[in-house]
Amino acid sequence: MLRVTPFFVALLLGLALGQGKICVLADLTGTGAQDGDLFRKGAELALKEVGLPYAILDSQSSPQGAVTAASRALNQERCTALVGPSRSTTMRAVIPLLKEANRAVAFTQATSVLLTQEGRGYVFRLAASDAVSSKAFAQVAEELGAKRLAIIYSNDAFGRGLYELFRGETRAEIVAAEAYTSGSRDYTAQLLKARGAELLVIFGTFSEDAAALARQYRDLGLRVPVLANKVFITSVTQQLAGSQLDGFYVIADFYEGANPQAIRFGRNFRMAYGLAPDPNSSGAYDGVKVYAEALRRAGKPDLEEVRKALLGLKNYPITSGLLAFREDGEGIFEVSLLRFQGATARFVKQVRVR
Amino acid sequence: MDLAQLFQLGASGLAVGGVYALAGLSVALVYRAARLFHLLVGEGLALGGLAMAVAGAWERGILLALLSGLAVGGVLVLLARWLRGREVAEVIVAFLGLSLALKNAFILLFGPASRPAPSPWPGVWVVGEVAVNRTYLVVLGVVALLVVFTFYLLERTWIGRRLEAVAEDPVAARVLGLPASLLQGLALLLAGVLGGMAGALLAPLYYASPTLGYLLLLKAVTAAIVGGLLSPLGAVVGGFALGLAESFGGFFASAYRDALVFGLMLLLLVFFPKGVVRERTQTRV
């Protein structure tokens, strides 16, 4: 007797939805390979649930790699949705291709405000943008009573962009603003500048750098409280830094216990891979699920119809909160504030930007 | 900058500079012995670091790194034989191709993930306002031991004196009946070991990963060139200078640290095109 598995049902459902095809652009090689592997796993978990045809391509942690992968996705694979690339620099590089092909939408958790400005109508963001995050950082810094801030940021488009936005939002005095090059791994000089500040704000891009920053912060015996961005709660950072993260505040758009969708995703992800979920895996998971929902509502993978369906999503629950797209493709306006106790991040509260 | 900051920047600069010094020494030894640019130094470092991480305990890690260094040294011996008399372009392509192949082999063997590596003396040493990672002290101690051992071998032993003769003129050394190939092989094995040890010492500070060497290749080659490619002492001086310049340069201009440091190194090469330390063999008539 034929056993009807959930996967079989999902596959039939997928076939019934037409020729919509998802291309996942993950950093499977290069400096972001560890995060990229989690991104791929998150996407695969969702793909099993929705049963749509798909291809997974390597964006190689670089804009050039992302352009090659996107070109293949749009021209050879004929995909109607891209999930990823996951970083602002790589996502930004593929926007011209999306416009030229004019057949697919792209989902990202990359946070640069430029992505939805330049990719309006094509790029849909499933996480808080830098504009939202910078406001949240300023709010939380004020709530923590910090009047003198030191800032350390990665010297790339993401880190510098977030720093510039935050500088415009905060009313506290900035006593030091220090950049670092990703991969340089020795951050003693930058961290020593934090002495005398009441709060150290860190905007990092890569997990290995975040872990090294946490370890060297301990090595230098610093006591200034730390408020850091979501790269500090990735699985890689937590695995490498462990309890050296104790006491760090983190602002993130994903936390496993923040809402029912995140809890369910976290449970399924752990069951499937034996790993803790993180913003990389959750972002990819959400991208696939949101496209599948939009395709279901649109009825066909036509770009205009899918766009309309996406803009019709109101308070649609995803792992990073309740999604409601504006015309510009921005969909999330809240973040989670977490604090590490030992090596474990605990939920403090949800921060809605004012 | 206060005294505490000066001390902490100095400690981190010396420890990281010590690792650059070992890697630079490895590059200089290979060039001196076989007139080859040791472009596999990054892979040697990565393998040494991964050995330390996989071993789980520092003592075992040092032993594994030593063995991995010997293996890399063995590859260098084979390469030196195979590439003898070949064009520079062929040599560079061979090294780069092998470097790429090894990097991917490490990813296949160990996975792409960074791994924490054990420290022999974990924790922080605190005196007043100054806190120094105790691993820095161990790194400096081991670097000092290895550098002293290498210089003793090169300057004070039968092997070292004959190696110098081979470095100066391998053909004449063969004519005089010196075992040039054997001596060259020993130097290359030593270079491999120094590279592996550099990786093992760096891993507790930077984490170990297959791409660790990629970050450090440029630093090692810079240390060797600035110091003087034919001069082991120059490579050590170059390594420490680079580490300290990075540490203090980052404090004064963090966003432009690399530009500042490599600009400074370029300036040194303008004034000292053969490196800041002149080797005796270059000045002899």
CA distance B55 to chain A (A): 16
Q: How far is CA B80 from the centre of its chain?
A: 18
pLDDT tens for each residue of A227-259:
999 899 988 899 999 999 999 999 998 888 888
**DSSP category for residue A84:** -
Residue B252 burial by CB count (10 A; 0-12/13-18/19+): exposed, middle or buried? exposed
CA distance A193 to chain B (A): 8
Q: How far is CA B176 from the centre of its chain?
A: 32
Closest partner CB to A220 (pick from B131, B206, B254)? B131
| Banded pLDDT at B175 (limits 50, 70, 90) | confident
Look up residue B245 and give its amino acid: A
Across A127-136, B117-126, B275-284, least confident range: B275-284
Using an 8 Å Cβ cutoff, are A292 and A50 in contact? yes
Using an 8 Å Cβ cutoff, are A57 and A84 in contact? no
Closest partner CB to A186 (pick from B12, B113, B116)? B12
Interchain CB distance below 8 Å, B247 and A189: yes
Q: Which residue has the tokens 């210089």?
A: B151
Using an 8 Å Cβ cutoff, are B40 and B75 in contact? yes
Closest partner CB to A240 (pick from B5, B207, B250)? B207
Q: What are the phi and psi torsion angles at B208 (to 5°)?
A: -100, 140
Using an 8 Å Cβ cutoff, are B46 and B210 in contact? yes
Look up residue B157 and give its amino acid: T
- Using CA coordinates, name the residue in chain A closest to B247: A189
pLDDT tens for each residue of A52-110:
999 999 999 899 999 999 999 999 999 999 999 998 889 999 999 999 999 999 999 88
pTM of the prediction? Answer: 0.81
Q: Percent of chain A scored above 70 by pLDDT?
A: 94
Question: What DSSP element (H or E) covers A340?
Answer: strand A334-341
Question: What DSSP element (H or E) covers B218?
Answer: helix B212-227
Chain A residue numbers with beta carbons less than 8 Å from the beta carbon of B247 are 186, 188-189
Q: Are strands A321-323 and A316-318 parallel, antiparallel or unpaired?
A: antiparallel
The mean of the pLDDT values for chain B is: 89
Interchain CB distance below 8 Å, A219 and B133: yes
Across B134-138, B147-151, B200-204, B259-263, least confident range: B259-263
Question: What DSSP element (H or E) covers B108?
Answer: helix B88-110
CA distance B172 to chain A (A): 45
- Using CA coordinates, name the residue in chain B closest to A190: B251
Residue, of B281 and A278, whose pLDDT is higher: A278
> Is the pLDDT assigned to residue B283 strictly greater than 50?
no
